[in-house]
A and B are shown apart, each in its own frame.
Chain A
């Protein structure tokens, strides 16, 4: 456990080195919320308004998940850079087991995501109409932590499997666009499902339904907005995603960085 805490400390120190980057990222997130969401609020289809209320309120939880994703994914960029600059030899020489090293990296990615996301979640708590119970609030935190760990794992798995920064950025872009646009982060899930009758690929609709970003955003909405109604499947989908990617990232990190 002590070894994992050392890794967490190392990664958190690195995280705060990017303070200007974090300020920039927060500004972009706030621009999305206080400009784009406010304008879309005015343009909303009356049928959609009846279902979700305002777009600003609908989008705020989605933005929290967007911020969590971007910051938890940063660990992958650092690991990819360490690999290219061969800093991973130093990491492998540290007096700890490979598993402790790998789990420390995955956990720190997730915790950094939680730290970055907290002001965005606080904004949701202030601006959205419903106040969650203690149990609901703890469930939100637990699900977001699992999601952040899964995203951190996904980014580490990509980082150790790609040999250059360009390839990493391309893979990140592909994952980012697929996961975000095929999710209920920007629009309600029922709108995506309604496209089935227009010949929209079923695989993309299924992806949107099981997407952990959809499930986490909708769970926050269900407690803070009252829409959609809460379902245990939301938690289950995030848990499955987190378990798969945490374990595969730990395994990939241990195996791939030992090569050569």
Chain B
């Protein structure tokens, strides 16, 4: 019964996401044009072997990241339109509401990116089923972690404009300072500080694990998949906990206004 209530919250967030039809179309156009135009041409621009499948797999993780971030925007919409009061009046506990939102935010991102991952797999080719399942699991955790991160930032910043700007800047920095677009060796060569940051970046962990799972780890020099897996789990744990705790505190007594 308690789990059912949690599922209702998750279901609501998943349904809400699929109302943004134009946004979904736009992201799909972005994904396809990145593969069909940027990916193909950039693979001729660089001297990295097999750069095209490398880039396509990184693109899946970037899409997952930006879809999971979207839950923060929903929180602002709800605060502006008075939906918060409705949510608080529902017969679910605060904890179920908060946890449900984090899970819903991650799950809907995963459902959305699912077909895009299928496109990536088609482009990349061979897959080791066992590795791939582990990589998928880590992507799940990554999506929930990003969703928790977005909720944490959204409830700490009260202006939707500032949130929009901050997430844009963070997106630019987090994605560019990761191995989503380029191998770690080149990032480190470019600037050791960039390489150091990329080493601890959750987008790096998720990208490397996804590539390992899809069998193109030869160009990522991933010696031990356990380390990025632990990194993703830590990221998930910290932001699920933080997001849940801060959201839980802020929703009482009009703290979101």
B182 touching A40 by the CB < 8 A rule? yes
A20 to B47, CA, bound (A): 38
A167-190 vs B, Cβ < 8 Å mask (1 yes, 0 no): 101100110011001100011000
Given A44-B46, A186-B38, the answer on whether A31 and B173 have CB atoms closer than 8 Å is yes
B177-204 vs A, Cβ < 8 Å mask (1 yes, 0 no): 1000110001101110010000000000
A167 touching B190 by the CB < 8 A rule? no
A182 to B34, CA, bound (A): 11
Q: Is B165 an interface residue (CB 8 A)?
A: yes
Given A32-B176, A181-B37, the answer on whether A24 and B165 have CB atoms closer than 8 Å is yes
Residues of A within 8 A of B2 (CB): none
Given A20-B161, A182-B37, A191-B41, the answer on whether A28 and B194 have CB atoms closer than 8 Å is no
CB distance from A135 to the nearest CB of B (A): 32
Q: Is A130 an interface residue (CB 8 A)?
A: no
CB distance from A65 to the nearest CB of B (A): 16
B25 touching A45 by the CB < 8 A rule? no
Residues of A within 8 A of B48 (CB): 43
Residues of A within 8 A of B44 (CB): 45, 48, 187, 191, 194-195
Contact of B176 among A31, A44, A45 (CB under 8 A): A31
CB distance from A24 to the nearest CB of B (A): 4
Interface residues of B in 1-60 (CB under 8 A from A): 20-23, 25-26, 29-30, 33-34, 37-38, 40-42, 44-48, 51
CB distance from B221 to the nearest CB of A (A): 15
Given A28-B172, A32-B176, the answer on whether A20 and B25 have CB atoms closer than 8 Å is no
A45 touching B26 by the CB < 8 A rule? no
Q: Is A10 an interface residue (CB 8 A)?
A: no
B22 touching A28 by the CB < 8 A rule? no
Given A36-B181, A40-B182, A204-B37, the answer on whether A169 and B22 have CB atoms closer than 8 Å is yes
CB distance from A36 to the nearest CB of B (A): 5
Q: Is B168 an interface residue (CB 8 A)?
A: yes
Given A170-B26, A182-B37, A192-B41, the answer on whether A24 and B168 have CB atoms closer than 8 Å is yes
A32-60 vs B, Cβ < 8 Å mask (1 yes, 0 no): 10011011111111101000000100000
A151 to B29, CA, bound (A): 21
Q: Is A99 an interface residue (CB 8 A)?
A: no
A35 touching B177 by the CB < 8 A rule? yes
Q: Is B169 an interface residue (CB 8 A)?
A: yes
Given A42-B190, A194-B44, the answer on whether A20 and B162 have CB atoms closer than 8 Å is yes
Residues of B within 8 A of A169 (CB): 22-23, 26
B169 touching A181 by the CB < 8 A rule? no
B20 touching A21 by the CB < 8 A rule? no
* Contact residues of A: prevailing secondary structure: helix
Q: Is A23 an interface residue (CB 8 A)?
A: yes
Q: Is A200 an interface residue (CB 8 A)?
A: yes
A28 touching B168 by the CB < 8 A rule? yes
B46 touching A170 by the CB < 8 A rule? no
The chain B residue with its CB closest to the CB of A58 is B45
A41 to B187, CA, bound (A): 10
CB distance from B23 to the nearest CB of A (A): 7
A21 touching B161 by the CB < 8 A rule? yes
A23 touching B47 by the CB < 8 A rule? no
Given A20-B165, A28-B168, A182-B37, the answer on whether A41 and B190 have CB atoms closer than 8 Å is yes
Q: List 17 A-B contacts (CB under 8 A).
A: A21-B161, A21-B164, A24-B166, A38-B190, A38-B194, A39-B190, A44-B46, A44-B47, A45-B47, A170-B29, A174-B26, A174-B29, A177-B33, A181-B41, A187-B42, A187-B44, A204-B37
Chain B residues proximal to chain A, CB less than 8 Å: 20-23, 25-26, 29-30, 33-34, 37-38, 40-42, 44-48, 51, 161-162, 164-166, 168-169, 172-173, 176-177, 181-182, 186-187, 189-191, 194
Chain A residues proximal to chain B, CB less than 8 Å: 20-21, 23-25, 27-28, 31-32, 35-36, 38-46, 48, 55, 164, 166-167, 169-170, 173-174, 177-178, 181-182, 186-187, 191-192, 194-195, 200, 204
The 10 lowest CB-CB distance pairs between A and B, nearest first, are: A181-B37, A24-B165, A166-B22, A173-B26, A43-B46, A177-B33, A28-B172, A31-B172, A35-B176, A170-B22
